[in-house]
Amino acid sequence: QATYAKGAIGYTNGTNLAFVNGVDTSTNMGVGIARVSSGNGWYNGILDGDCVVTHTGSCEKTTSFAVVGAFTHFWTPTVRSWLAASYYQVRYSDNAINPIPTALATGQAFYIAGVTNYREFDLVAGLGWSPVRGFTIGTEFTWMHGVVSRPVGLATDAALIAAGLPAFKASSDLFRGRLRMIRAF
């Protein structure tokens, strides 16, 4: 299954919500890899916007893409395993990533750090046992790898560390395990 959207991130990230908050709640100012669930960085709510108002005065639409595939195999009538993988990507316009040239060209004295592109790869593996019909006990392992571009305008790592902040980290891995007990009625 694959989904592509321009100006409608909710279709590709699975929430089906409108993300109109833009850069006020995005990865500005060194938020880093907060897009990875339970990941590093500061989290300020909704991270990506359907569009970003740039120094050109227009709301430039964000493009996003997601693809997912899953496979389930029944080893016996009561034991099964599954494997799923997904890839998700968010890309912003050049003006949103690097606002400096447009800000200078339009005579503005100040600008904010640019927004960041994002890529994520997820891999899920699980094993389930159904001792009775409609009830499954299972275990699942998830690996999530996120990569974010460095914001244009973000201070150097040396300056961040000197200010008592962590250095910018472009990628993060999250490993998660869970025990599932599901009852279908």
Scored b (16 or more CB within 10 A) or e, 55-79 reads beeebbbbbbbbeeeeeeeeeeeee
Put simply, whether the predicted model's pTM sits higher than 0.85 gets the answer no
Asked if residue 23 has pLDDT above 90, the reply is: no
Position 128 pLDDT exceeds 90 = yes
pLDDT exceeds cutoff 50 at 53: yes
Which pLDDT score is estimated for 22? Answer: 45
For the cut 90, the answer to whether the pLDDT of residue 146 exceeds it is: no
The span from the CA of 178 to the CA of 163, in Å, is: 38
Q: Which domain holds residue 108?
A: 2-183
Q: Cα angle at 183 between 180 and 185, to 5 degrees?
A: 155
pLDDT digits 0-9 by tens, 67-124? 999 999 999 999 999 999 999 998 988 888 887 777 778 787 777 667 888 898 999 9
Total of domains in the chain: 1
